[in-house]
């Protein structure tokens, strides 16, 4: 598992460097690229919700085994939540909230782990949630919110540690194709090769938000919400 995560970092970095050439005309905004974020864009300009820096991938590799052993923790989810809401530490969080509301609801970002446009929330030893923002007209606008620990659950009771089958039972078949990716030889990766290198992305566009369940070895290891309203305020081409 750790070797696979490290290989993901290398391939993701390779693709991000060549992204303007390899993925049509889609790219990340200049303000995001200046932070050193590795990123892949879909053909319509959507971010790869799980792209991370090399440092973040190294931390994820160190945490993978620990997360897998603690994925049985239960999270109580109230009925009738909206798809853009989830439960974290007993509180209902909305991926559509402004940054100040999110920051307060999540307990304040970790000063030692956050930098520039990425704000992290956790227990002091590792991140459980990462919020990626871009600034516009003097305001920080949350673009993606990634759940990396098992202390949160979606409105349909899916969490880190849930199986792929549970995701499909709760959300049905994905309605968004994962981004195209290219190998070192410049050829587009097949579906199987993509999954081998990056894991599997189950992506759902649900109107105001988009949710990406990142699956490795049949289990969810990350969940990312994209705030479509904020995303659409920026040019991605």
pLDDT in tens, 32-71: 444 444 344 444 444 454 444 444 444 544 454 444 434 4
Q: 91, 224 in Cβ contact below 8 A?
A: no
End-to-end, the C-alpha distance of the chain in Å comes to: 34
As a whole number, the mean pLDDT across the chain is 76
Sheet holding 118-122, edge to edge: 118-122, 127-136, 139-147, 219-227, 209-216, 200-205
Q: 3-31: per-residue pLDDT in tens?
A: 344 334 433 333 332 333 222 333 344 44
pTM above 0.75, yes or no: no
Q: Is the backbone of residue 137 left (phi > 0), alpha (psi -120 to 50) or beta?
A: left
Spatial separation of the C-alpha atoms in residues 29 and 10, rounded to whole Å = 22
- The reported pLDDT for the residue numbered 74 is 81
Q: 184-201: per-residue pLDDT in tens?
A: 888 888 888 888 888 899
């Amino acid at each position: 598992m750790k070797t696979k995560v490290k290989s993901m970092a290398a391939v993701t970095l390779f693709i991000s460097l060549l992204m303007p050439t390899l993925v049509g005309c889609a790219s990340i905004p200049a303000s995001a690229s200046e932070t050193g974020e590795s990123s892949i864009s879909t053909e319509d300009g959507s971010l790869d919700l799980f792209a991370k820096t090399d440092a973040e991938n190294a931390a994820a590799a160190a945490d993978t085994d620990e997360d897998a052993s603690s994925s049985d923790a239960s999270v109580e989810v109230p009925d009738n939540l909206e798809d853009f809401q989830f439960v974290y530490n007993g509180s209902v969080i909305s991926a559509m909230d402004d940054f100040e509301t999110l920051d307060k609801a999540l307990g304040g970002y970790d000063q030692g782990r956050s930098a520039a446009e990425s704000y992290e929330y956790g227990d002091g030893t590792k991140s459980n949630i990462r919020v990626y923002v871009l600034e516009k007209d003097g305001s920080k606008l949350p673009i993606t919110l990634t759940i990396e620990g098992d202390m949160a659950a979606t409105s349909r009771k899916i969490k880190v540690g849930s199986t792929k089958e549970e995701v499909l039972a709760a959300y049905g078949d994905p309605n968004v194709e994962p981004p195209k990716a290219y190998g070192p030889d410049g050829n587009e990766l097949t579906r199987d090769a993509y999954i081998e290198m990056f894991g599997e992305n189950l992506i759902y566009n649900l109107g105001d938000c988009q949710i990406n369940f990142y699956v490795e070895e049949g289990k969810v290891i990350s969940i990312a919400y994209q705030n479509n309203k904020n995303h659409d305020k920026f040019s991605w081409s």
